[in-house]
Amino acid sequence: MENRHADARRTDTMTPKGIPQQLGPKLKAIRLHLGYTLEQMAEAVGKTGASRRTRVHEWETGKRQPDLTCLLAYSRLASVSTDCLIDDHLDLALGGAQS
């Protein structure tokens, strides 16, 4: 019973589908921190095809969610844990300027 109440507190900032509300802004912050364009970010996370720029934009605006492979790529590029990306209660801490 105790765990159910803890879970309810953990999801209070998520959409009804359980999607973190801060995921998109965090993904955009990573891209901007890296100095990447939408096209460069799509390439960096392994997206191909004509709509890859659109896909990254949709992730950043919350219209779509990236698959797990892309989330892992984001976390590795930014040197942050995937927990940080998907947990609205954790702040995104990006390192120094990229070269």
- Check residue 49 and give its pLDDT: 87
How large a percentage of the chain has pLDDT more than 70? 79
Please, what sign has the CA dihedral across residues 96, 59, 86, 10?
positive
Separation between Cα atoms, residue 32 and residue 29, nearest integer Å: 5
Q: What is the pLDDT of residues 51-82, one digit of tens each?
A: 999 999 999 999 999 999 999 999 999 999 99
Would you say the pTM of this structure is higher than 0.75? Answer: yes
- Evaluate whether 55 touches 64 at the Cβ level (below 8 Å): yes
- Domain 2-86 CATH assignment equals 3.40.50.1950: no
Per domain, the residue ranges of the chain are 2-86
Return mean pLDDT, the chain. Answer: 84
